Copies of this chain bind each other. A is one copy, B any other.
């Protein structure tokens, strides 16, 4: 079964497109897990693992997928990376799809090495992800090794197209022959998406190559949705970065499919902000995670209606 078919099934099963970002940070995770004062990398990595697994326990019945951010684990050296591997496997066992956010990029056999390391659920790859994020600056022949490995293993790839940070404009919005650079990337990604829709009976409207598109630009989101009819969008920037449910609604088709919406800090660290802080207190941070997840699900359900697509 293709990654796209698995993603669609997971969204239909949970009736929402929420992607919970696993971005643990010292100083933000509960003190009960990690006294940030004098922790060494091994201790921090262990605390990150416990924290993420306890988040997964809460969100696994609610959402289709999680997105661990590789940087926060790599920051703590080999023990951080071991924790990441364990978290990916734990999420898989709890029935969640896992999109590893590493924004990897390279060419030829080097790109293949990244892809083979990360893409492939369960024991089929060392890191065990269902899909990964990749960066496109090196061009088409840098993306194909990722796409090939993903195809072989029923995995997916999300390519950065239009990012939510202000500086993203520096390159992405340059206009070449009347078309912004990010649209060149988007058109190429759409061609890959069209080719990776899979075969019947599991063929889906969308392919297993998707695009990362920021939620801070609703108009561009609408244009890109029209220009990329077979491309899953991974939308960061919900909640903490300012995007709201109605901002992301242009990314969805009439069946409420076509995008997954990421929220990291707004869910993970909900226990630190109102109204959750007063409602649950610091000691019940998992209840805050659950309430914030349910709140985001309801906000999205008010804008989009998820239904099994007509073939």
Contacts and interface: CB of A to CB of B under 8 A. Distances in A.
A46 to B, nearest CB: 14
Contact of A167 (B25, B109, B139, B176): B139
A281 interface: no
Contacts of A114: 71, 74-75
B172 A126 contact: no
Contact of A137 (B71, B116, B172): B172
Interface residues of A, number: 57
B184 A113 contact: no
Contacts of A80: 117, 126
A76 to B, nearest CB: 6
Number of copies: 2
A174 to B, nearest CB: 4
A282 to B, nearest CB: 22
B142 A165 contact: yes
A176 B172 contact: no
A124 to B, nearest CB: 12
A158 to B, nearest CB: 13
A175 interface: yes
15 contacts: A71-B117, A72-B110, A77-B85, A77-B127, A78-B81, A80-B126, A103-B106, A137-B172, A139-B163, A141-B165, A141-B166, A174-B176, A174-B181, A175-B177, A176-B176
Interface of A: 23, 25, 41, 69, 71-72, 74-78, 80-82, 85, 103-111, 113-114, 116-118, 126-127, 135-142, 160, 163, 165-172, 174-177, 181, 184-185, 188
